[in-house]
Amino acid sequence: MTDGRNRKPSVQTRTAQALHYVEEETGAVIPAIQPTATYARDHNYSTRKPYWYRRDGSQTTQQAESILAELEGAGDTLLFSSGMSACTAVIESLAPGAHVVAPEVMYHGVRQQLLGYEAKGRLTLSPYTAGNLEELAAAVRPGETALVWVETPNNPNWEVTDIAAAAKIARDAGARLITDCTATPPSMTRALDFGADISFHSATKFLNGHSDVTAGALSVREADAGFEQIAEIRKLQGTVLQSFDAWLLIRGMRTLFLRVERASKNAAAIARHFDGHEHLDAVLYPGLPSHPGHEVASRQTGGQIGAMLSLIVKGSEQTAIDVARFCEVFYPATSLGGVESLIEHRKTVSGEGFPVHERLLRLSIGIEDADDLIHDLEQALARAAR
């Protein structure tokens, strides 16, 4: 029997304690906010830390990056001022004319960015149906494809892609794999462990969890020249995450495991309740055994699945909009991953030209009482149907 002195605390404990942070001078257990825009060099005119100006980073941002790197099992993590700025840095790092493979349906902002770069001749883009590995393999060009983009589960239909299988397809073609697992944060899915080269998260969402920060994160197992180039792009564009937002993100990550567990349980209860409902054509949720990606999702998330689901409402597009309007507990708002539950009519938000069902409602489930959320949806569906 051991005394436990050599036992390393779990990632849950390390995250809850912000990596057991203690401020040396005062003993404070909460990391400080370092707001300075510039840093004095030492008496040898050397930089004291790996940053000398705010665009390089800060003590607070670096602490948040260290916590997230541990969550991801990463060698290095970079934080950006938004998820889109992180994605743009990856795209900007590609050589002119690079070939990219990405899902036909994915987060609409990244999709618009990829299409925009293609229209300018900066890259060539080949789409595939999310979750379809045969189409993914067919879209890849061995020796030519530079980047394979996987979002799993895919927003807003929640198709599931096998990350390990996608990583092999990319690797065999000489391409890098980037995975967007925003809907399944690293308390559930560590994409790097499944073979991804870059793990991306919109840290605005579950990582922060309080709807008061915009942030993006990129993590890698080992920082190579390509990742250093992305870091340089972040510096030149000035898109490093600012100190106060980094401090809020640290605050949010400390409760990540608790929040995600509760929200995922709520989502599963809601999905089961409304599966086969008289006012719905479908419930899109990988946690349902009938979902084609259920087995892969269960394996990649340790059975937790996640807190995102969508409903296809019977009736017209206006019926779906009315359901969102009539909710009294759900907020009719755009985003996801916060402690409060949100409902949105996705076509209204994503705009014309985005391939989404006109009667799809996207739900981000929070940590409220699940019965309250179910009752709210029931009354909204009944009112809209009338």
Q: Are 270 and 370 in contact (CB under 8 A)?
A: yes
* CA–CA separation, 131 and 113 (whole Å): 21
* CA–CA separation, 179 and 160 (whole Å): 12
Catalytic residue (choose from 180, 245, 322, 376): 180
* CA–CA separation, 52 and 263 (whole Å): 40
Q: Is 180 part of the annotated catalytic residue set?
A: yes
* CA–CA separation, 111 and 334 (whole Å): 17
Catalytic residue (choose from 55, 168, 235, 299): 55
Instruction: Tokens for 148, please give them.
Output: 């394979």
Catalytic residue (choose from 51, 54, 76, 107): 107
What values do phi and psi take at 331, rounded to 5?
Answer: -90, 130
* CA–CA separation, 308 and 284 (whole Å): 9
Instruction: Tokens for 62, please give them.
Output: 């670096």
Instruction: Tokens for 203, please give them.
Output: 């840290």
* CA–CA separation, 279 and 358 (whole Å): 15
Q: Are 159 and 130 in contact (CB under 8 A)?
A: yes
Beta bridge partners of 124: 99
Q: Is 171 part of the annotated catalytic residue set?
A: no
Count Cβ atoms within 10 A of the Cβ of residue 378 and give its class: 0-12 exposed, 13-18 middle, 19 or more buried.
Answer: middle
* CA–CA separation, 137 and 148 (whole Å): 10
Q: Is 265 part of the annotated catalytic residue set?
A: no
Q: Is 55 part of the annotated catalytic residue set?
A: yes
* CA–CA separation, 12 and 2 (whole Å): 22
* CA–CA separation, 83 and 199 (whole Å): 12
Q: Which candidate, 297, 269, 295, places its Cα nearest to that of 283? A: 269
* CA–CA separation, 376 and 311 (whole Å): 14
Catalytic residue (choose from 111, 176, 190, 205): 205
Peptide bond into 289 cis (omega under 30): no
Count of beta carbons in the 10 Å neighbourhood of residue 358: 15
Instruction: Tokens for 276, please give them.
Output: 């086969």
Q: Please list the active-site residues.
A: 55, 107, 180, 205
